[in-house]
Amino acid sequence: GIQVEQSPPDLILQEGANSTLRCNFSDSVNNLQWFHQNPWGQLINLFYIPSGTKQNGRLSATTVATERYSLLYISSSQTTDSGVYFCAVELVGNEKLTFGTGTRLTIIP
Amino acid sequence: GAGVSQSPSNKVTEKGKDVELRCDPISGHTALYWYRQSLGQGLEFLIYFQGNSAPDKSGLPSDRFSAERTGGSVSTLTIQRTQQEDSAVYLCASRVVRFNEQFFGPGTRLTVL
């Protein structure tokens, strides 16, 4: 089946720092989403980005579908950015999300 | 508008009992999904409903698990004869149409003693 790998698994940063999270996937996809799982377990939609680049405030994401990777950028980190970030993909012809193992981000004040 | 809602938020049960988990998708969303998140397995797909089509049950881990979606809206996930390994957070998601983004509910945390 499709492999979805995220790196790094853990990231600890000072408030104000910038970070880049990576998602590699092993096959062609119709859908790629980035989520933030907050401390209460809720999955918050960040980006729906099967290809191209999008920005939303301090967050931006880029997916290069031909090279099978996506990047999530967080600038000027805040403590509220802490949590686990998941990448999830939907294979062509397979209408369900396969999740990566996540990146746990901890922002220290 | 309201997001995906799930109930109960927490459920503690004894091994061998049956449980029912409920999901109310976003109004107008034709597709509904169940996933679960456990320590050992991460986030994994369970079952998928799309309109009036037969559901995709390929992720259900055993025949103790079943789900139905009534009237194209509310869905119930039933786990019979629960086992300790069923302990997990069960997440429901919905989306408007195929290949669009999925939106998740807050989950039901199931603990089997």
Separation between Cα atoms, residue B23 and residue B5, nearest integer Å:
6
Which pLDDT belongs to residue A21? 98
Compare all CA atoms of chain A with the CA of B106 and give the residue at the minimum distance.
A42
Q: Give residue-wise pLDDT tens across range A66-78.
A: 999 999 999 999 9
Q: Give residue-wise pLDDT tens across range B82-112.
A: 999 999 999 999 998 776 899 999 999 999 9
User: Distance between alpha carbon A49 and the CA centroid of its chain, in Å?
Assistant: 10
Across the interface, of A45, A96, A99, the residue whose CB is closest to B103 is A45
Q: Does A103 touch chain B (CB under 8 A)?
A: no
Q: Does A1 touch chain B (CB under 8 A)?
A: no
Is there a contact between B101 and A90 if contact means CB atoms under 8 Å apart? no
Distances in Å between the Cα of A31 and the Cα atoms of A91, A108, B21 are 7, 33, 27
Separation between Cα atoms, residue A92 and residue A59, nearest integer Å:
27
Q: Give residue-wise pLDDT tens across range B33-89.
A: 999 999 877 899 999 999 888 999 999 999 999 999 988 799 999 999 999 999 999
Is there a contact between A97 and B109 if contact means CB atoms under 8 Å apart? no
Which pLDDT belongs to residue B41? 78
Which pLDDT belongs to residue B1? 55
A-B contacts at Cβ under 8 angstroms: 48
Sequence-ordered strand ranges (E) for chain B: 5-7, 10-13, 19-24, 31-38, 42-50, 65-69, 75-79, 88-95, 103-104, 108-112
Question: In terms of residues, how long is chain A?
Answer: 109
**Antiparallel, parallel or unpaired: β B88-95 and B108-112:** antiparallel
Q: Does A39 touch chain B (CB under 8 A)?
A: no
Q: Give residue-wise pLDDT tens across range A78-109.
A: 999 999 999 999 988 788 999 999 999 999 99
Q: Are the beta carbons of A99 and B42 closer than 8 angstroms?
A: yes
Q: Does A95 touch chain B (CB under 8 A)?
A: yes
Provide the residue type at B55 as one letter: P
